[in-house]
Amino acid sequence: MEKKTSPRKSGTTEKPGKKVLHTRIIDDVFTDAVDAVKPRFHVNIDAYVERLWEASPKIYEILKASQNLEDARLKMYEYLEKAERRIFDVDNDLHILEKSTVREAIRVMKSIIGPVNEYRTDFSALELLLKLSDSKEPDLQEQVSPGFILEFINLFRGLEGRSNIYFESKQAKKGIPDFLQMSGRAASEARTNILNELSSNMHKYLRKYPGGLEEDVITWRKANKKRILKYFKAEEKDWDDYQWHLKNVIKDAAPLIELIELTEEQKEAITRATKNKIPFGITPYYLSLMDSKLNIGYDHAIRAQVIPPPDYVDTLIESKENRGIQFDFMGEHDTSPIDLMTRRYPGIAILKPYNTCAQICVYCQRNWEIDEVLDPKAMARKEEIKRALQWMDENPAVGDVLITGGDPCVMNTQTLKGILELVSAKKHVYRIRIGSRTPVVLPQRWNQEFVDMIASFQIPGKRQISIITHFEHNYEVTPEAMQAVQRIRKAGMMVYNQEVFTVENSRRFETVKLRLDLKSIGVDPYYTFNMKGKEETKRYMVPIARILQERKEEARLLPGLDRTDEPVFNVPKLGKNQLMAWQDHRLVMVLPNGARVYEFHPWEKNIQPVPPYNYIDVPIYDYLEELAARGENIRDYRNIWFYY
């Protein structure tokens, strides 16, 4: 396998080499050379504005002729209504799919210029566009970003029927593809050629993401394992003992410095994190999955999960006193009817008896309540567990219980068995889910004795036991993980995966590769979570438009059995919003920095009048710049702007 150089290491803010990057505009708006640091100081806003008005001369005329904001709003509504009627004209020669884009762009534009959305977001994109139409307006460089203008360049193109989504396809220009004008074998052969091209293009990308089951990677990791055992003065047999791994969880930078290459920034971040008691830990097994040399670069997602970036460390240090409130993004304080329990849905509850893990994920949803890796005080008191279980008796509607934490599989086997006995004794509980990352970070935990103990609580037709785990990247899919999963499956239990969609696994077809590798070892993709809007982990975030694009342009190429995951956004306090259901969310504003504001509707929509939630997304422009800094061809993502 050819090794590669990663242009930017995850978990660092180092600049990519000596290469000078500059932003400039072409027809696809982005080039491969995009400044990765402070684009607004390297671009000519006037050039962007010029391209904006080229995208829709008609809108430019409307804004130039408007006397004030309300006049502009009235004229824009008239323009949009005419545009909507025009796409239904018989003599309109736009491709029918382009017409669909126009309708969607009209819907979004109407929402953005709506006075109620300006009121709710305390900003008017229309007013800023009005200022941009006035060349005499001073200080626009300080008021607007390229990201804002690029959003409207693409929105205007959508309104005009010039999205260029299909511009490279001769089929779109002809209107009717060749295979639909044929019949019989000729039609099927023409269609096969198109499908083969799509498949070939997908596999070109998949080859970029080697997995942990490939022979070269297995060989590298055997060498890693040998070095780690030598460092800890251990023997080969110790590697298969999960308790040995727990006893030797890495809690400071010293072992990492000895065993793998780190950047100076990573060393400093780890040292500051441990000094300030910010949760940090890595199992020896998970360390063996990291590339020993920085220039290999396949392990970016693995490092990013456990090596905290400097801004994360800074934020947690600054917020040490009120971390429990500030970082509780999901509002678990307000959805916990009793200690150890969380409930957001009619038939489901979460039981959290153990408040730590074998290692700590930087972007963990519950990083605010975990004090340290393998915290000796992590086990809930018997009285607390007793009260939580009594609450379950008082709420028999809850038939599905997720036991998580923390990681319950890090608990003593007999302790977990005791909890399973108590929960399974509730006659109304028909499913117990166990949420654990141990299949990924400590697969040795799933020895036959442990698997048999958990499986003993499964009674077909009466009570189901399911394992919910969290593989983040196909580089984590290893022979050891496969062995653990296969033991679970052979015992009659299902294994489901919840992926968090971050900048580390969001490249073209990267999550597709994860799905395929998971299915190959017996894990079913379950949920793909849009990265939470937690300020301390902002650098990991991906625009909602990208997860929608991935689902449509990449996941859709897989058979249905491979794309069983549902892309969701977890609405604070309320629960999951199905991102593929456009009626459950809408874009209501674009802010000066290019960030979209979404209105998310609760799962109770059409059932109960629960109010929606407004969310400020990460700007698409910023995300694309990060991809460019990592060596991605931004043309691959050019349609991202049209996913709302």
Task: Establish if 624 belongs to a structural domain.
Answer: no
Percent of the chain exceeding pLDDT 90 equals: 74
pLDDT in tens, 279-337: 899 999 999 999 999 988 999 999 999 999 998 898 888 876 665 545 555 566 678 89
CATH of the domain at 450: 3.20.20.70
In what order do the strands lie in the sheet containing 341-345? 341-345, 348-354, 400-405, 431-435, 464-469, 494-501, 524-530, 566-571, 575-578
DSSP string, 20-49: -------TTS--S---SS-GGGTS-HHHHH
285 and 420 share one domain: no
Q: How many whole angstroms from its chain centre is CA 376? A: 32
The reply to whether 38 falls in a domain is no
Q: How many CB atoms lie within 10 A of CB 424?
A: 18
In a domain, 495, yes or no: yes
Residue 170 structure tokens: 């001769």
Helix (H) or strand (E) holding 174: helix 170-174
DSSP 551: I
Whether 160 and 195 map to the same domain: the answer is no
Peptide bond into 399 cis (omega under 30): no
Q: Are residues 548 and 443 in the same domain?
A: yes
> Residue 186's domain spans which residues?
179-204
Lowest-confidence segment of 45-54, 71-80, 377-386 by average pLDDT: 45-54
pLDDT of 35 > 80? The answer is no
Among the listed ranges 433-442, 499-508, 594-603, 605-614, which one has the minimum average pLDDT value? 605-614
Note whether 549 and 436 are same-domain residues.
yes
Q: Which of 515, 543, 575 is the last residue of a domain?
A: 575
163 and 186 fall within a common domain: no
The count of structural domains within the chain is 4
Residue 227 and residue 120 in one domain:
no
| Cα–Cα distance measured from residue 475 to residue 211, given in angstroms and rounded to the nearest whole number | 4
CA 141 – CA 149 distance, rounded (Å)? 12
On whether residue 598 sits in a domain, the answer given is no
pLDDT at residue 534, rounded to an integer: 59
Same domain, 92 and 224: no
How many Å apart are CA 567 and CA 571, to the nearest integer? 13
Picking from 343, 367, 405, the residue whose alpha carbon sits closest to that of residue 574 is 343
Place of tokens 């709420």: 395
Do 195 and 253 lie in one domain? The reply is: no
Tokens found for residue 50? 């010029």
546-560: per-residue pLDDT in tens? 999 999 999 999 999
Q: Confirm whether 633 is domain-assigned.
A: no
Tell whether 258 and 118 lie within a shared domain. Answer: no
- CA–CA gap between residue 108 and residue 125 (Å, rounded): 12
Nearest CA-CA partner of 433 in 517, 527, 518: 527
The tokens for 283 are 């199992």
Answer whether residue 113 is part of any domain.
yes
pLDDT over 90 (residue 571): no
Backbone φ, ψ for residue 431 (5° rounding): -145, 135
| Residue range 409-432, pLDDT digits in tens | 999 999 999 999 999 999 999 999
Peptide bond between residue 406 and the one before it cis (omega within 30 degrees of 0): yes
Residue 68 lies in a domain: yes
Q: Are residues 90 and 144 in the same domain?
A: yes
* Per-residue pLDDT at 312: 87
Confidence of residue 171 (pLDDT cuts 50, 70, 90): low
- Quote the CA–CA distance of 387 and 378 in Å, as a whole number: 17
Query: Is pLDDT at 5 greater than 80 in this prediction?
Result: no
In a domain, 604, yes or no: no
Is the domain of 404 the same as that of 330?
Answer: yes
Q: Which structure tokens are listed for 485?
A: 């999963």
Out of 549, 575, 601, a domain closes at 575
Q: What is the DSSP letter of 342?
A: E
pLDDT at 60 over 80: yes
Residue 17 has pLDDT above 50, yes or no: no
- Stretch 113-133: mean pLDDT: 97
> Mean pLDDT over residues 563-574, rounded?
89
Q: pTM of whole model > 0.75?
A: yes
- If asked whether residues 341 and 400 sit together in one domain, one would say yes
568 pLDDT above the threshold of 90: yes
Domain boundary residue, one of 559, 575, 591 = 575
Q: Kindly list the distances between the CA atom of residue 368 and the CA atoms of 278, 350, 375, 455, in Å, as whole numbers in the listed order.
A: 10, 17, 14, 32
Task: Give the pLDDT of residue 371.
Answer: 77
CA–CA gap between residue 313 and residue 273 (Å, rounded): 6
3-state helix, strand, coil in the chain (%, to 5): 50, 10, 40
